[in-house]
Amino acid sequence: MKIGFIGLGNMGHHMARNLASAGHDVTGFDLAAPCPDGVIKADSPADVATGADVVVTMLPNGAILKSVAAEIIPAMSAGAVLCDCSTVDVESARSVAEDAKAAGLMAVDAPVSGGIGGADAGTLTFMAGGDDAAFKTVTELFDIMGQKAVHCGEAGAGQAAKICNNMILGITMAGTCEAFALADKLGLDRQKMFDVVSTSSGYSWTMNAYCPAPGVGPQSPADNDYKPGFAAELMLKDLRLSQQAAVAADADTPMGERATELYSTFVEDEDGQGRDFSAMLPRFEKRGRD
């Protein structure tokens, strides 16, 4: 395929490189980041979109996505697919899909899970929204960039799945860090804590696969001074998206709301900016009960 790729930052760089390495003709654009090996640099988003079978976007937020979409949709050929892999609000995803459809294009919203490591290794999970034909067209690309793609429903469903997943993730990580901090104060060895919880009813991904305690469980950012695999500010972004969606849907999400407050304080008022989202553990270590 002829593929355009817009947004070559920490995630997009690896994703575009993997598509080019698989033999696709990839043209890329980013305002600041360089093109990876094998990707041809374009001068503008419109240049990327012209003549492309698929345009993949990996952008910071819904406002930027809509701005880029307004520039590239008129340049795309009828029947081409706009595949957005950003994590944005559901309404922005649906709005872009409607604009694409009105222009004779197909659209897929396909946010990802797996972080920078997954983007590099080509082991991402894609949560896709859009019609069947659009999803089938880009399945081959998902297979190159990731290990799993789930068609979640119509436009916006991919973003809905990502937001709900990451609300669970934020809540669970906060609880896991709280539990380790409590175990410390109760004199319970962290390794013993892990040995029990990881094989008991407290089992979770944040405990078993991404343990926030250094030297316990599999390798994780905690073993690298909490350098981010998934930055705390990105978790905050996703939690805020979950609460924006909850307000729009009139959904009661008290745990999601509290996790959003915790990460907001951690990132904006403490030392969480630029650290992994599991660095909530040393935060709780330092704190007593208010």
Which of the residues are catalytic?
162
* Measured distance CA(247)–CA(163) in Å, rounded: 13
* Measured distance CA(163)–CA(181) in Å, rounded: 27
Nearest in space to 35 (alpha carbons), one of 9, 2, 66:
9
∠ at Cα 128 (166, 113), nearest 5°?
Answer: 35
* Measured distance CA(244)–CA(234) in Å, rounded: 15
Nearest in space to 182 (alpha carbons), one of 197, 170, 200:
197
| Residue-by-residue DSSP string for 87-103 | ---HHHHHHHHHHHHHT
59: tokens are: 């952008």
Q: Is 64 exposed, middle or buried (0-12, 13-18, 19+ CB in 10 A)?
A: middle
Nearest in space to 169 (alpha carbons), one of 263, 90, 289:
263
Exposure of 75 in the CB half-sphere (CA atoms within 13 A):
17
Q: Is 141 left (phi over 0), alpha (psi -120 to 50) or beta?
A: alpha
